[in-house]
Amino acid sequence: MTAAASATGLEPGREAARTSARRARTRWIVLGLLLTITIINFIDRQTISILAPILREILHLSNEQYGRIVAAFQFGMMSGEFPMGWLMDRWGVRLGLAGAVLWWSAATAAQSVAHSGVQLGATRFWMGTGECGNYSGGIKTVYRLFAPGERTLAIGVFNGGSMIGATLAPPLIVFLEQHYGFRAAFLLPASLGVLWVPLWLYLYRDVHSAQDLPSRAASLFALLGHSSSWAVMLCRFFIGPVMQFYWYWIPSYLYSARHLTLTQIGILGWIPFFLGDTGGIAGGWTAGWLQKRGLSIYSVRRITMYSSAALCLFSLAVPYLVNTAEAFLAIGIAVMADNFLSANMFGAVTDLFPDHTVGRAAGLTGVAGGLSGLLFPLLTGYLVDRVSYAPVFLMVAFMPLIGTALLFIVGTRYRSPELSISKTGDIVLP
């Protein structure tokens, strides 16, 4: 073969293969960026729960007032979910996610100058309107970069950032508070978010800028006309507040009911969330493994979600275990199971919706999760002040099972006919 033939034949093919291999490697780097920002996101969120015993004393807050501050964040999440999902679908995740991170990082920094419960609640609301973009942007990115059989694992990896963030937050926040004051605990994660944005803008552009273009419009009413929308919304309505309870209330529970000091919480509080991180990755890996064994998407979701929801029943034992180590273990199993479940819950969004609506569909689930996340902290504060933590642990034990059942009862596309995978790797909807 002549040099000219080589130049016009083999070399272009080799170059295309190299480009494809480079993109395949880079998508995992992009997933690493999603994991990183999710870690930062959840350090942001956990800061207030870890500092809750101190903030309640400084700002003279009751459990009910603290519950309102937590609810303000959830109200912000609920308010921002659909606009953020629309932004990701309409203008792309490259700019959309970067804007969301800058928006919530500014709100995180603003919490450092709050001098009252009202001011703290207002900045938490602001932060919530941006942080909801983490999942609508992340799920859409996974949808575009990964094949259907890999998506739940990829979602499990980046969603695992929630547990890694929650694992790192107790020792990190306690260290910052004890050495530099509680205001520094808000400023550090805010700074990390700002530093993340340039990396995202550079790397995601190199991967899929051609696909990250404005997409077809799908109205809110059109989405709400599908049973799939209500299925995933109801599922997240019941499952979402469970993990939020562990994020926002467990430090207070350990402090007030188990009588641990803030230092002890910093040393031990990461353990349940470490177990939770393993659950998120295991949930994604298990779904992919079952799918490769020939199981339908419907069967994979039923097996993974019902089994993990059943393990969430360990929450029932927590308030009745005298030994704190045993209580930690029960909490850890419940957190691990709920995160296993969450990976498949978010995976269900990629099962049931096409590319041009994934961001908004994820946003709708966030609205539902935000509504329950708004109501549940108010109920939790009321019950803790007037009864105890026991009825709260009872609720979080059964809510995952209820949410899972509703996903399959309402989601007619899951039941008949079953979903299939096309030769191009796309989900085929009946």
DSSP notation for 42-102: HHHHHHHHHSHHHHHHHHT--HHHHHHHHHHHHHHHHHHHHHHHHHHHHH-HHHHHHHHHH
Residue 176, pLDDT > 80, answer: yes
pLDDT score, position 285: 85
Please, what is the Cα angle at 104 between 101 and 109, to 5 degrees?
120
Q: Say whether pLDDT at 11 is over 60.
A: no
Supply 348's token pair: 């269900």
Q: How confident is the model at residue 164 (pLDDT cuts 50, 70, 90)?
A: confident
What is the overall mean pLDDT for the chain?
Answer: 81
> Could you tell me the pLDDT band of residue 414, with boundaries at 50, 70 and 90?
low
Average of per-residue pLDDT across 176-196: 90
Least confident among 126-140, 238-252, 302-316 = 238-252
Residue type, 9: G
Residue for token pair 């609301």? 125
Task: Assign 217 to helix, strand or coil.
Answer: coil
Is the previous residue joined to 417 through a cis bond, with omega within 30 degrees of 0?
yes
The rounded distance, in Å, linking the Cα atoms of 106 and 190 is 7
219: phi then psi, degrees, rounded to nearest 5? -70, 160
| Non-local CB neighbours of 429 within 8 Å, separated by 6+ positions | 352, 354, 413, 419
pLDDT value at residue 333: 92
Q: Which of 342, 318, 341 is nearest to 328 (CA)?
A: 318
Q: pLDDT-derived band of residue 423, with 50, 70 and 90 as boundaries? A: very low
333-347 b/e (C-beta count within 10 Å ≥ 16 → b): bbbbbbbbbbbbbbb
CB 418 within 8 Å of CB 326 = no
Query: Could you tell me if 23 and 207 are in contact, meaning their C-beta atoms sit under 8 angstroms apart?
Result: yes
What pairs with residue 428 in β-bridges?
420
CA distance 39 to 164: 6
The residue to which tokens 């419960």 are assigned:
117
Residue 200 has pLDDT above 70, yes or no: yes
Confidence of residue 346 (pLDDT cuts 50, 70, 90): confident
DSSP structure class, residue 214: -
| Pair 31, 142: CB distance under 8 Å | yes
- Which structural domains are found in the chain, ordered by start? 14-205+226-419 (1.20.1250.20)
pLDDT in tens, 347-392: 888 787 776 677 777 778 878 887 887 788 788 888 888 888 899 9
* Burial annotation 278-292 (CB, 10 A radius, 16+ → b, else e): bbbbbbbbbbbebbe
For residue range 232-289, what is the model confidence (pLDDT) as tens digits? 899 999 998 888 888 778 877 888 888 888 778 777 777 787 777 788 788 888 988 8
Mean pLDDT of 9-38: 71
> Tell me, what amino acid is at 348?
A
Residues β-bridged to residue 420: 428
E strand or H helix at 421, and its extent? strand 420-421
